[in-house]
Amino acid sequence: MTHVIQEISINGEKQRVPSPLTVEDLLRHLSIDRRYVAVECNRKLIVKQEYAEAKIEAGDFLEIVTFVGGG
Amino acid sequence: MATPITGVGGQADQNLEIGAHTFRSRLFVGTGKYQDLAVMREALAASGTDCVTVAVRRLQTGVPEGETLLDYIDTERYRLLPNTAGCFTAKDAIRTAMLGREAGMSDMVKLEVLGDPDTLLPDPVGTVEAAQYLVEEGFTVLCYTSDDPVVARRLEDVGVAAVMPAGAPIGSGQGILNPNNLRIILSRASVPVLIDAGVGCASDVAVAMELGAHGVLLNTGIALAADPVRMARAMKAASEAGRDSFLSGRIPKRLYASASSPTQGLIAGE
């Protein structure tokens, strides 16, 4: 399989990741456990059931959030 | 609103019901500001809470394995209540709530739409707007608000599951600054009212519960106490004492004395 690299933004930082890539691929690539995590791609919430199908394109802005301490 | 239970017995209090969710403890505790996650874990246990608040933020890389917040929270024991802290617009709060729901797989949200970074007072217009939207999206909204009874009523009208007026500014530790307005809110509310924010010590919790609040939500009062575990224990006792005191039907306040010992059968005086 040809490994192409694409540049995307994750949590405000530019990152180079493989292409093609789904959200599921990305979380695996970053060793992120999907439990207690939520993902937005270009300001659109991606629900967990869609991770395997949701494609990430070059230039996409991703927010990957989780729970931290708060009142 | 609960009325005093008369008669013999001190029968057991009902559970706290918020929307479709039931809680045994009337204390909700935050997970922010602790010096040490191990201390947080002990403090949460000492508080007896069923439900802890969390914030929704970008995932940090490089945190050592086993050292994230969630590694120190037993999610079998505590329900997670995501907040929308740090949001100054309805749009941001809604977006954060959506992310929190997806991350936590629960429909509960603690809604905050702030109006001012110094006082952290809520923006009433943004709060009502976001609350209405989130209720329509199926959320169980526990809504942070001021002690303004008009806004509290508006929030109830749009369908929030709980109204959460502040006792004092967030993290200020000043306690219950305006009991009069809280009494007004409590007398009119048809959803649970939890005093949220500004609580500094155990007696503040007791005062809140004695006013008739259905619960208290606090974070800083425990997290930044010199001994958070001991304070959590004190808050637990205070929430139970205040609730029992409220349900007991206290005596009225009198201007003049009323002797506790009989005035008949006194021996002859000099």
Whether pLDDT at B8 is above 60:
no
Query: What is the distance between the alpha carbons of residues A42 and A8, in angstroms, rounded to a whole number?
Result: 11
Task: Please pick, among B91, B110, B236, B253, the residue that the annotation labels catalytic.
Answer: B110
**Portion of chain B with pLDDT greater than 70, in percent:** 96
Residue pLDDT, tens place only, B90-125: 999 999 999 999 999 899 999 999 999 999 999 999
| Res. B255 pLDDT band, cuts 50 70 90 | very high
Query: What is the distance between the alpha carbons of residues A38 and B59, in angstroms, rounded to a whole number?
Result: 9
What global pTM score does this model have? Answer: 0.93
* Probe site for chain A from B58, B67, B71, B87 (most A CB atoms < 10 A): B58
The alpha carbon of residue B55 is apart from the nearest alpha carbon of chain A, in Å, by 5
* Probe site for chain A from B59, B65, B76 (most A CB atoms < 10 A): B59
Query: What is the distance between the alpha carbons of residues B103 and A45, in angstroms, rounded to a whole number?
Result: 11
Q: In what order do the strands lie in the sheet with B162-165?
A: B108-111, B140-145, B162-165
Instruction: Collapse the DSSP code of B137 into the 3-class scheme (helix H, G, I; strand E, B; otherwise coil) and give the result.
Output: coil
Q: Which residue of B has its CA nearest to A50?
A: B102
Structure tokens at B217: 């939500």
DSSP string, A2-67: --EEEEEEETTEEEEEEESEEHHHHHHHTT---TTEEEEETTEEEPGGGTTT-EE-TT-EEEEEEE
Output the average pLDDT for chain B. Answer: 94
Mean pLDDT value of segment B7-12: 62
pLDDT of residue B269: 87
Q: Do A37 and B103 touch (CB under 8 A)?
A: yes
Q: Do A71 and B80 touch (CB under 8 A)?
A: no
Mean pLDDT value of segment B45-51: 98
| Res. A1 pLDDT band, cuts 50 70 90 | low
Residue pLDDT, tens place only, B144-191: 999 999 999 999 999 999 999 999 999 999 999 999 999 999 999 999
| Res. B69 pLDDT band, cuts 50 70 90 | very high
| Residues in contact with B128: Cβ distance below 8 Å, sequence separation at least 6, in sequence order | B151, B154, B155, B158
| Res. B7 pLDDT band, cuts 50 70 90 | very low
Q: In B, which residues are within 8 Å of A48 by CB distance?
A: 102
Residue pLDDT, tens place only, A4-61: 999 999 999 999 999 999 999 999 999 999 999 999 999 999 999 999 999 999 999 9
pLDDT of residue B6: 46
Q: In this complex, is the C-beta atom of A42 within 8 Å of any C-beta atom belonging to chain B?
A: no
Q: What is the dihedral of CA A62, B62, B108, B206, to 10 degrees?
A: -140
Q: How many CB pairs under 8 A join A and B?
A: 90
pLDDT of residue B83: 98
The alpha carbon of residue B83 is apart from the nearest alpha carbon of chain A, in Å, by 8
What does the radius of gyration of chain B's CA atoms come to, in whole angstroms?
20
Structure tokens at B245: 């005191």
Is the previous residue joined to A20 through a cis bond, with omega within 30 degrees of 0?
Answer: yes
Whether pLDDT at A2 is above 70:
no
Query: What is the distance between the alpha carbons of residues B185 and B187, in angstroms, rounded to a whole number?
Result: 6
Q: Is B33 one of the annotated active-site residues of the chain? A: no
pLDDT of residue B64: 84
